[in-house]
Structure 1
């Protein structure tokens, strides 16, 4: 995932459109598009979710093996003025994280090798409300930064599952809250606007559901567990 982020960042910074910064004025595509009060579109993208842990005791860190996920959704854009827009981007996000525990968490207890690994699959209905600040348009490009807050419903949280880690079920909260910040570039093509962007998300609430046993090797040492992640989105409008 890090390679994807590096490649996209290079593409964004080295995009041929940037050459327009140092050349004569070009013919403007979609010249009146940004004057619309309301506009709609859709996005596709990739994500990489992680966890940030805080611990009760000084044991080895729980390692998070995260893999690239994907997302799809809609965008609604409300123009506030020439530089500020309010955006709503509901989407469905799919991701998998594997938690790897050290043997020290079992403190002499009997365990199976499978007890050292927990697969955490998540399907989020992600609902962000964002403020977008754009620079002046430069020919057919327009850089921007974006930030805001969001909530997400984890459909695979297992929060209500009566079985906990002793039965192989790692449980998380269903409703979660985040703040987000990112940047991107609007590219005005002949028939539509294409927007690659990168956004980081950071959970506000603790997401772990403790096991029934307060001394559980899987959750007993976790004070807080919060999601953090990176989104790479490609928006079409």
Structure 2
């Protein structure tokens, strides 16, 4: 995922920047748009969440089946200078993952086919604080990179549910911490600024809530389970 993220970011920036750099100067739209100390906007986008597992014993990896989720949120931007901005981007991120266990996790135990599958539904209130570093504006585009830290509350975590996997409940923690890295391009249109961007997020803390049974086939072999994800956002300011 990290390799895909950086390759896509590089291709977006390189293609659009080169197209503008080698063209004649054009009339700039919204020349004073970036001069305001504070600016606001919103974003719509797609997300794809995954899990990164570390294990105690060398058993087959738990396979994560990802899906495409939906994202929506607001943007608050504070201008530091022509090249640096500080951004707050609270949003709602909805996603679903399926965990597929190998039969070796149930060695010596009786199990059904349903025991090999666990669904993890997540609804995150995601709040990142980001530093945006932009290049010089060229005609009507301005490429940038962005990075920072974020916190998220998972409204679908089941952390406080007394039932665990023995009753079909896979539980995750409600509070998460991430670091984020991304890239994008500000495109200045006649009436507003449109920004496509791509960003990777990587969890800092373990998200798994372990079962009551210390020998649980679902959680006993997991040393840590950390979320990672890819965002594609479309921003309007």
Alignment TM-score, normalising by the size of structure 1: 0.95
Aligned equivalents of 2:134, 2:22: Cα separation in 1: 20
Aligned equivalents of 1:85, 1:22: Cα separation in 2: 27
State yes or no: 1:43 paired with 2:43.
yes
1:173-219 deviation digits (Å, cap 9, x = unpaired):
00000000000000000100000000000000000000000000000
Q: Map of 1:185-204 to 2, 5 A cutoff? A: 185-204=185-204
Aligned equivalents of 2:14, 2:192: Cα separation in 1: 21
Superposed CA RMSD = 1.9
Unaligned runs of 5+ in 2: none
Aligned equivalents of 1:31, 1:87: Cα separation in 2: 21
Cα 1:18–1:183 shift into 2, 3 Å: same
Aligned equivalents of 1:165, 1:111: Cα separation in 2: 12
Aligned equivalents of 2:81, 2:20: Cα separation in 1: 25
Aligned equivalents of 1:166, 1:7: Cα separation in 2: 42
Instruction: Specify the alignment match of 1:222 in structure 2.
Output: 222
Aligned equivalents of 1:10, 1:138: Cα separation in 2: 17
Aligned equivalents of 2:9, 2:70: Cα separation in 1: 16
Q: How many residues of Structure 1 are paired with residues of Structure 2 in the alignment?
A: 235
Aligned equivalents of 2:154, 2:179: Cα separation in 1: 16
Instruction: Specify the alignment match of 1:70 in structure 2.
Output: 70
Cα 1:206–1:7 shift into 2, 3 Å: closer
Whether the aligned pair in 1 keeps the contact of 2:127 and 2:150 (CA below 8 Å) is: yes
Q: How much has 1:13 moved relative to structure 2? A: 4.5
1:61-99 deviation digits (Å, cap 9, x = unpaired):
000000110100000000011110000000000000000
Instruction: Specify the alignment match of 2:100 in structure 1.
Output: 100
Alignment TM-score, normalising by the size of structure 2: 0.95
Moved over 6 A (4+): 4-9
Aligned equivalents of 2:13, 2:163: Cα separation in 1: 46
